[in-house]
Amino acid sequence: MPTVSDRSRLISIVQSRQNARVRELRAAFARTGREVSEVIGIEGEHLIAEALRSNTRLRTVFVRRDPASPDSARRDGTLRILDRLALPAAVPIVELTPAVFDSAVETESPQGIAALVEPPTFSFAEALRGANPLVILTAALQDPGNLGTLIRSAEAFGASGVIALPGTVSVWNSKVLRASAGSAFRVPVVAEKSSLAFATLAERHIPVFAAMPASVDAIPCSRADLTGPAAFLIGNEGSGLSAELLDRADQRISIPMPGPVESLNAAVAASVLLYEAARQRRNR
């Protein structure tokens, strides 16, 4: 796809908060629920670069103009970001005054660049792709940082996908996206009802391992056979896994901890389990 770095592509500066493009950007960042939208808002050079690397389509890029002269150092810095990104030629670039830009984005100290992008869509089948799928099931995981970190770990350790059970925060929440550092654009994350999720896993002969604190009926993860297809069931940050979900699991596993800590952060626990599965698969 052809790209350009010509700074003359900047659209005339927008000074109104009621501009249609600005309203669309503000609305995209305001969506924090699970509603489906054709566009989402992302912010910062790294996340935009990850979206481009993932072949995610950018609708519009917004840059923050310094209130000083057009040749100010801050404006030059923003333009250097555009040069590094080498945006596709078809992507319009809108320059906003600081007040208008800051009114539309979420972070308190914005980098000065944001974008509207079309999020990728994934199917349940894609989340279970491959001959030896490794899946994470999130049960009402509500903290955006936890889900984003979990998705990043899923990509790092070769998981096939993430199944978000009811109550889990939206993958397109802006805080989830930032915590995932771009992995959310590539790892299939699919929201699904618990009944269908467990039924599909059973049909595919993918055992479900419920992560929980050490107990008499939970075996250490190092003793569980994770070399074959596996799905890790990760509970809510505060309440853990419900009795109903535990009953649906095929096996209960725990992470041995010699220190005086009862449990781990949900994302940390998922990361440790993913590492253990990757270790076993590498050494089999």
Per residue in 160-173, pLDDT (tens digit) is: 999 999 999 999 99
Q: Does the pLDDT value for residue 157 go beyond 80?
A: yes
Residue 273 in this model has a pLDDT that exceeds 80: yes
- Across 30-37, average pLDDT: 61
Task: With a cut of 80, say whether residue 120 has pLDDT above it.
Answer: yes
* pLDDT tens, residue by residue, 90-119: 899 998 888 899 889 987 767 789 999 999
Report, as an integer, the average pLDDT of 130-158.
96
CATH class of this structure's domain 124-283: alpha beta
Dist. CA 146–CA 268, nearest whole Å: 8
Q: What is the pLDDT of residues 170-227, one digit of tens each?
A: 999 989 999 999 999 999 999 999 999 999 999 999 999 999 987 768 999 999 999 9
Domain boundaries, the chain: 7-118, 124-283
Query: What are the φ/ψ torsions at residue 151 (nearest 5 degrees)?
Result: -65, -40
**Residues 100, 76: Cα–Cα separation, whole Å:** 19
Distance CA 139, CA 236 (A): 6
**pLDDT for res 107:** 77
Structure tokens at 84: 């590094």
What is the pLDDT averaged over residues 65-91? 71
Regarding the domain delimited by 7-118, which CATH topology (the fold level of the hierarchy) does it fall under? Answer: 60s Ribosomal Protein L30; Chain: A; (3.30.1330)
Residues paired with 40 in a beta bridge = 117
Q: Which one-letter amino acid corresponds to residue 198?
A: F
Q: Nearest-CA neighbor of 262 among 226, 238, 242?
A: 238
Return phi, psi of residue 72, to 5°: -65, 155
State yes or no: pLDDT of 248 exceeds 80.
yes
